[in-house]
Amino acid sequence: MKLFSTLYRFTLEWSRHPRAPWALGVLSFAESSFFPIPPDVMLAPMCLATPRRAWWFAFLTTLTSVLGGVFGYLIGVYAFSAIEPFLRESHYWQSYQSAVEWFGAWGFWAVFIAGFSPIPYKVFTIAAGALSMAFPPFVLASVIGRGARFFLVAGLMAWGGARMESALHRYVDRIGWVTVALLALGLLIRR
């Protein structure tokens, strides 16, 4: 079943639509709490198509993603027991268990890393709420992590054009994991 490739194609088609900014906002919100497709797949082509609006698209993506993260946080606070059976049966359970461990060790930095990297941010937003992470540091880590990611993507697309988009698409997972490894190493050295 090709559910994700279908969703991916649908998302790319929407990036060319006149109402694409609305779709980008909805996608960014949804991805931060329950949807599997990252907003980068719309953000990058939109920034390529209209480089002069790249910073606006990055701001919109960051804002709606953080709002979606707040929704995920609220799911964790008020509805975790309702979604826990689904989480246990899904491929996200292992990620959730990792999120719990990361919160115990790093707190704020766990949200920041998840916000910037290819780690499923939605799992961390729900875990933050379920584990009663303080709300202001959660929002701050989300703004910094998500903002850094989306402004980097927008800047690279506006600056590098189609060549950069192709390279980013090919290496985004590697770049994300290297960043996570460097941040984790830095935190371990700091301890």
* C-alpha closest to that of 33 among 69, 84, 77: 69
What confidence score (pLDDT) does residue 183 get?
A: 64
The string over 178-190, giving b where at least 16 C-beta atoms fall within 10 Å of a residue's C-beta and e elsewhere, is: ebbeebeeeeeee
83-86 long-range contacts (CB < 8 A, ≥24 apart) are 83/126
Give the pLDDT confidence score for residue 20 in this predicted structure: 84
CA dist 35 and 38 (Å) reads 8
Q: What percent of the chain has pLDDT over 90?
A: 36
Yes or no: say if 125 and 67 are a contact pair by the CB < 8 Å rule: no
Q: What is the pLDDT of residues 102-118, one digit of tens each?
A: 887 888 888 888 888 77
pLDDT (tens digit, 9 = 90+) per residue, 9-18? 565 566 677 8
Q: Can you give the pLDDT at residue 12?
A: 58
Report pLDDT digits (tens) over 48-94.
778 888 999 999 999 999 999 999 999 999 999 999 998 888 877 88
Average of pLDDT values for 114-130? 86
